[in-house]
Structures are given as C-alpha cells and as structure tokens.
C-alpha cells in the first residue's frame, strides 16, 4: 500500500510538472507597433520610456513575448529581436540538426548597420560583416540619477557547429553609436557573441525556445557601470548575423529598469516561478522519501 501511494504521488508530481510546461508555453506576437514594444520592455519608477524607434530590419524581426517560464531557463515577459523571424523562435522550429541544415534559418535580405560593422571589426571574433540586423532604439528619461539595467537571453542556431566562423552577436549602445558606447559584455569582457561568450555561460537545456539542444543560449543581465544623470537618454539594441545571412539568432529583453545593480554583464538570479517550481519539486521528493521510509505497520 505504501509503495502504491508513493508511486501515485510521483506520478501526480510528474503530471503537474508537465502541465506547468504546457500551461506556460512561450507565446510570440510579431509587431512593429512601437508603443507595444515600449510597454513590453518595462520601465516605471525613476525610468520612463518615452519612445521606441525601429532603425533597421524587416517587420518579421521584432515582437513581444510572454510565457518564457519553463525551467530551467526563465525570464520575464518582454521584447524579442531576431536575425530571422521572431515567430520561429519557439521550440517547434528546432529540427534537431547541426550545421547548415539547422532551423530556424531565414535570410531576411536586410543589411547590417554602420554601428554594428564599426564595432564588430575590432571586437567580434573573425568579424567580416553584419547582416539581417534588427536594430531598435529606446528613448527614456530618468527622474533622478541612477544606474539602469535589463535582463536578456541571447540564443543562436549557429551553436555548436559554427562557433568561430559565424559569430552572431547582441550589442547595446548607450547614448550614442560609437564603439565606446557599447555596454554588453561577457565575463571575459568580450561582446556577447556565438563562441567565446557561449563558452562561459552556455546552456543547451532550454525548453522554451528553438535554441535548446543541440543549440544553445546564454542568460545574463547588464547594468551600467555608473549612474546616469537625470534627464534624457537613449539605448539602442542590435542583434545580427555575422559573416552570413542564415542560421538565426535572437535576443529576448526584459525588465528594463532604473536601480542599483552589479556593474557590467553578469548572470541573473532565478525567476520566482523557477524557484517556486523547483522548491515544490524538492519538497515533494522529500515527502515521498519520508513516506517510503515509514515501516509498513504504521498508517
């Protein structure tokens, strides 16, 4: 009887975890509506988002997302930019292949940007040119001096086959487009790109997107090193294919905010939903072990 109860409990736990995955599936809403993009980014408190401008890319490369909540990798709702089609960032578009036959893979026919090319030439590994760049600028105001930060996930189909030759990258330029204005770096002070960045923070275990096994993604957060002055500022996000037009990469950006944080780009703390789900699982497993340890003559 005790063994049957434990088995049933484990079965119910498994069903519950599967339900949580189904119930919180990633939903993508392609849009170039700048009001919707600004609202999805965050803001509030000291930080007011005044406007969003799309600078480069096809309409298919921009959107909002919800439901990035299936462990082990989670992030709050926000904005997604892709070098291909944002609707193809969900798991069903990962065909499980490595190499040039991998999907998702879209040539949007869009160019790179001058800022991406100028920065990439001296900073991105084996850089020749950028293509299919999705570029979006956020104009915001601070009511008082503050650091600003945001959470992001950068994933790529280029991994693991092309981690040195086609080094797609995510860049963010604060208050200008010069190379010195780029503020997103990995732990080794390299720009966030396929290859060296992935080596330090890579996971292939994501279950939300097309960037799960055999591909990969990194989850990080960025804070400015210094407080920004009160007043008007701009932040330009760019994600681009490097040295080709295929094998898509994308960035999910969330929780753009004004607050004190660890300067630079660092790992984020787990989302509350992840902590709760993992905690529930541990409690359930502990309870099951306890029930199994009780002698049969009791209860």
Quote the pLDDT of residue 37.
99
In Å, how far from its chain's centre is CA 58?
Answer: 20
* Share above pLDDT 70 across residues of the chain, in percent, rounded to a whole number: 80
pLDDT digits (tens, 9 = 90+) for 242-287: 999 999 999 999 999 999 998 888 876 554 444 444 444 444 434 4
What is the pLDDT at residue 24?
A: 57
291 pLDDT band (50/70/90 cuts)? very low
Asked, for residue 299, whether it belongs to a domain, the answer is: no
Stronger pLDDT, 4 or 212, i.e. the higher one: 212
Asked if residue 198 is part of any domain, the answer here is: yes
Question: What pLDDT does residue 143 have?
Answer: 98
Q: Do 15 and 297 meet the contact criterion of CB atoms below 8 Å apart?
A: no
Question: How far is Cα 248 from Cα 241, in angstroms, rounded to an integer?
Answer: 7
In a domain, 153, yes or no: yes
289 is written with which tokens? 């072990």
- Higher confidence at residue 251 or residue 5? 251
Query: Terminus-to-terminus CA distance in the chain, angstroms?
Result: 10
What single string gives the DSSP state of each residue in 235-283? EEEEEEEESSS-S-EEEEEEEEEES---SEEEPPPPPHHHHHHHHHHHH
Range scoring the smallest mean pLDDT among 98-102, 182-186, 202-206, 292-296: 292-296
Q: Does residue 298 belong to any structural domain of this protein?
A: no
User: Residue 9 phi/psi, 5° resolution?
Assistant: -65, -45
What is the per-residue pLDDT across 109-160, written as a single tens digit (0 to 9) for each?
999 999 999 999 999 999 999 999 999 999 999 999 999 999 999 999 999 8
> Higher-confidence residue: 128 or 21?
128
Instruction: Check residue 201 and give its pLDDT.
Output: 74
Residue 14 lies in a domain: yes
| Predicted pLDDT at 163 | 83
Number of domains in the chain: 1
Given a cut of 50, is residue 11 above it in pLDDT?
no
What is the SS3 assignment for 61? helix
Q: ∠ CA 145-149-152 to the nearest 5 degrees?
A: 170
Distance, CA of 190 to CA of 185 (rounded, Å)? 5
* Average pLDDT estimate for 20-39: 85
2 within domain boundaries: no
Q: How does residue 189 score in pLDDT terms, banded at 50, 70 and 90?
A: confident
Residue 269 lies in a domain: yes
Average pLDDT, the chain: 85
**Inside any domain, residue 156:** yes
Structural domain that includes position 126: 7-293
In 3-state terms the chain splits into helix, strand, coil percentages (rounded to 5) of: 25, 30, 40
Secondary element (H or E) of residue 286: helix 272-293
What is the structure's pLDDT at 259? 95
């Amino acid at each position: 009887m005790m063994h049957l109860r434990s088995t049933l409990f484990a079965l119910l736990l498994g069903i519950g975890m599967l339900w949580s995955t189904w119930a919180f599936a990633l939903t993508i809403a392609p849009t170039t509506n700048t009001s919707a993009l600004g609202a999805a980014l965050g803001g509030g408190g000291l930080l007011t988002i005044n406007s969003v401008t799309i600078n480069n890319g096809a309409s298919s490369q921009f959107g909002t997302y919800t439901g990035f909540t299936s462990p082990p990798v989670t992030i709050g709702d926000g904005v997604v930019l892709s070098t291909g089609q944002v609707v193809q960032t969900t798991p069903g578009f990962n065909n499980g292949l490595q190499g040039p036959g991998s999907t998702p893979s879209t040539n949007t026919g869009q160019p790179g940007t001058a800022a991406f090319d100028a920065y990439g030439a001296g900073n991105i590994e084996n850089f020749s040119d950028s293509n299919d760049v999705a570029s979006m600028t956020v104009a915001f105001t601070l009511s008082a001096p503050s650091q600003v930060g945001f959470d992001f996930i950068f994933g790529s189909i280029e991994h693991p086959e092309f981690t040195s030759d086609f080094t797609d990258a995510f860049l963010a330029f604060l208050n200008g487009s010069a190379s010195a204005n780029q503020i997103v770096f990995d732990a080794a002070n390299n720009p966030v790109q396929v290859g060296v960045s992935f080596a330090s923070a890579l996971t292939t275990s994501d279950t939300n997107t097309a960037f799960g096994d055999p591909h990969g993604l990194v989850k990080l957060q960025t804070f400015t090193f210094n407080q920004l002055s009160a007043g008007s500022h701009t932040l330009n996000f760019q994600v681009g294919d490097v040295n080709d037009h295929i094998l898509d990469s994308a960035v999910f950006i969330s929780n753009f905010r004004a607050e004190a944080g660890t300067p630079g780009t660092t790992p984020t703390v787990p989302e509350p939903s992840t902590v709760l789900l993992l905690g529930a699982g541990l409690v359930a497993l502990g309870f099951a072990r306890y029930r199994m340890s009780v002698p049969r003559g009791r209860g």
